[in-house]
Structure 1
Amino acid sequence: MLPFVDALVAPYCLELVGDGAPAPAEKLRPLIDVREAVSRASQDIRLSFCATSSQEAKRITDGVTNLLLAKGSKLDEAIWSTMEETSARLVASTDMEDDEDITWLSTRWATVHQIAEQAVQCRGYMPKIDNVSPLTSLIMETVACLEKMLSQKSARSSFPDQSLGFLFLINNSYFIWQQLYPITSVLESHMLALARKIDNYIETYLQLSWAPAEFHKTYTAQKLWKVPDPKLRRRLRVAVIEKVIPSFTKYLEYNNISPSRITPHDLMDMLQELFEG
């Protein structure tokens, strides 16, 4: 196991970049798995020799335990550096890792949490957010930067339609919310704030797109706009239907018009085709 630890940590000590370096998420999995294996081995050795009073056995146990602690420290350093690299890359690219990585990481929360606590004590990491754990602070700092950059990108980008800019914010903010869902328990207040922000984006999008505009013009322009997530796509369709259909029905009733070319039911069927891309 010990030579394997050295071989695993070596690439991070050399700071490989470019084509020779794996992506941060690919680094974290083996590092954390081996770190947990080293920790279990250390515990097993202590338990195996705890009943032995032999001085020789104690000497061997202490030697192996100290060696495992040293290897564990190397792994901790590599893990923390990789987590900081992941955070920096996410902010630089505004592109989250695959949600499977976040789900997997949430199952190793105890290990990563311990490493983050050690980072405060031994590596000089200063959490920017008070009253939360160092790991939670790092995640919240990263997410806050992502949200800010998405907002700036939406404002700076020359979207052909302002509504498309808000759909961009809805898609990406919802994607961030999905990534954080496996660790909702430690980010509850932030998750609620992000959910409210998504609600506000959706309401603004509805007002811009479907309240003042002519239906056919808006429908034709937005039919091929894409919402990748099925749940979010259904949610937006329902929101548009609830915005459009009652207004259309009231318009027909107020003007005493009998629908000839298109009925409210036909309209609903059309709106079910939105956001497929």
Structure 2
Amino acid sequence: MEVGGESSAVRPAGGDSSSCSGTHSSTYTPGASPVSSSCGFHPPGASELDEEARAKKLGHVRGLLEEFCSHAGANVEALIERWLSEMDAAWVHLAGHDSRQLPQLTRSWILALRDIKDSIFAYIDGLCGEDDSTSHSQPALSEFSRFVESTILKMLPFVDVIVALNNTVASSGSEHIVAAAAETQTKLQALIQVRDALSTASEEIQFWPHSSLYYQESTRMVDDMSDLLSSQLGKLDKAIWDTVDEIRNGIMDASRAAAACLSPDIHELTRSVISCIKLLDTNYVLLSRIAYEAARHGTFVPEIKNKAPLTSLIIEMFSCLEGKLVAMLQSFQHDSLGFLFLINNSHFVWQQLHPMFDLEFPMAVLNRRIADYIQSYLQVSWGPVLSCLYNDPRPLRLGRYRFGFEFQKVHTTQRLWKVPDPELRARLRKAIAKKITSGYAKFLEDNRATTTPRVTPQELDEMVQEIFEG
């Protein structure tokens, strides 16, 4: 398990991934023979501890267990609180946390759950390696099972805490759509990480060794622990889908909201939607199964019927963003600045999303649209400059003067405009130079008998290389 990280599951190679069970797969089959009780057995995916660390952890949990067996009531509660405090997780059952603390709290919770897993395994593994006379002197496994169950029960309310935090965000309205979307994505990441940790713990429990002396008790403990953890997965699945749906609705609201743009730079809505899509894609296996269930139960109706529900959802988000960007064109005072805004944002979208194979066709269409936006930008921004050479009814000298004046005016303005991506900036400069420099060179060639150039095409080209630096 990667603590605090995103699911590393690989998406199926195409088609509907509804058959996937989650972010992890387990080879355990209910009703199969128990795992052999050989000393030193390590379950797949379990945290690797060296012998010294395992012995230290075993000694510590035995000491805690002896205290647990010799006390009752409030003292037991205090003992569990102390153990959680040692793992920096004494807060896990408390509500009222600031949502901005959620990433840190989630990481702390996952680390604590891993530590508890390691401690449980170290204890059972220790029993497997001892002879009967030594084992009889140890506290009964049933007492250990109660101790572990009490500890995990103290851990599980954190699931309710993050679900409650998510509901708080979901009811916040759409006044600050982008800020709310970023906060909701943080909650979604936390929910996915907690679910991933619980799923991993539940699956790894199935591989715990069974002491031959305590076979029935250890089997019962494995079943109880598995049921205790698995019971939370359905709750998390629902909370995850509710959060995904809230993000989707937020993007739909943003696509209807009016906004005025003054800068051609990457818009915060673009960054927010792309961040969300990449989060969905990174956790595709888990979220695809959840989206499939939502579609099966009618709580989500995909617009694209021949795609997996989650893929359809991602394309819907992309389409909403694209429509909103086009609508923003109307808010720019100058069309040339508006088209540069579309070029910047559309190229950023393509750059971030084109590696996703499910979006191969939409990205090809978007790439053609970017080329069209570039041609529209050249026409509205530099076309009038070039037309001074051919469409001015005054003498050629005045036409050249007008061309130079208009070129300088556009050049001075667009030096302050920003194209953040170096590759796109070079592509635009090349397109401008091709239109202006080649057009000017042809004009000079056609009128070389009557015209003495004040500036050369090469000098114009050098000036073009100065624009879009911001």
- Post-superposition offset of 1:107: 3.3
Q: How far apart are 1:130 and its partner, in Å?
A: 1.5
- Residue in structure 2 matched with residue 68 of structure 1 by the alignment: 229
- Say which of 249, 256, 264 aligns to 2:441: 249
Moved more, 31-40 or 227-236: 227-236
Instruction: Report the secondary structure of 2:224's partner residue.
Output: helix
How far apart, CA to CA, are the structure 2 residues paired with 1:101 and 1:152?
A: 21
Structure 2 counterparts to residues 1-277 of structure 1, below 5 A: 1=113, 2-14=156-168, 15=170, 17=172, 23-48=183-208, 54=215, 56-93=217-254, 95-97=269-271, 103=278, 105-122=280-297, 124-154=299-329, 156-157=330-331, 159-182=332-355, 184-213=356-385, 214=403, 215-256=407-448, 260-277=453-470
Structure 1 unaligned regions, length at least 5: none
| Superposition deviation, residue 140 in structure 1 | 0.7
In 2 relative to 1, CA 175–91 (structure 1 residues): closer, same or farther, beyond 3 Å?
farther
Aligned partner letter, 2:193: D
Give the SS at the match of 1:275.
coil
Shift of 1:64: 2.7
TM-score (norm 1): 0.85
Q: Which residue of 1 aligns with 2:389?
A: none
Residues 433 and 461 in structure 2, CA contact (< 8 A), matched pair in contact too: yes
Per the TM alignment, residue 50 of structure 1 is displaced from its structure 2 partner at its CA by: 8.9
Decide whether aligned partners of structure 1 residues 91 and 100 sit closer, same or farther in structure 2, where only a CA change above 3 A counts: closer
Supply the RMSD in Å over aligned alpha carbons.
Answer: 3.0
Deviation at 1:101, TM superposition (A): 6.3
> 1:127 and 1:50, CA in 2 relative to 1: closer, same or farther beyond 3 A?
farther
| Offset at residue 201 of structure 1 (A) | 0.9
CA distance in 2, matches of 1:259, 1:93: 55
Aligned residues: 274
Most deviating of 243-252 and 51-60: 51-60
- Higher RCO, Cα 8 Å, sep 6+: 2
Q: Mark the CA change 1:91 to 1:179 in structure 2 (over 3 Å): closer, same or farther.
A: farther
- Write the distance in 2 (CA, Å) between the matches of 1:140 and 1:78: 22
- Assess if the C-alpha contact under 8 Å between 2:287 and 2:310 holds in 1: yes
Q: Which runs of 5+ in 2 are unaligned?
A: 1-112, 114-155, 256-268, 386-402
* Cα distance change, pair 243–38 in 1 and its aligned pair in 2 (3 A): same
Partner Cα separation in structure 1 for residue 298 and residue 209 of structure 2? 33
Provide the secondary structure at the position in 1 that maps to 2:383.
coil
| Cα deviation digits, residues 59-109 of structure 1 (max 9, x gap) | 433333233222112222222222222223334346034566655554322
Q: Distance in 2 between matches of 1:228 and 1:148?
A: 22
- Going from structure 1 to structure 2, the CA distance change for 1:193 and 1:242 (only over 3 Å counts) comes to same
**How many Å separate the matches in 2 of 1:90 and 1:189?**
22
Q: Normalized per residue, which structure has more helix?
A: 1
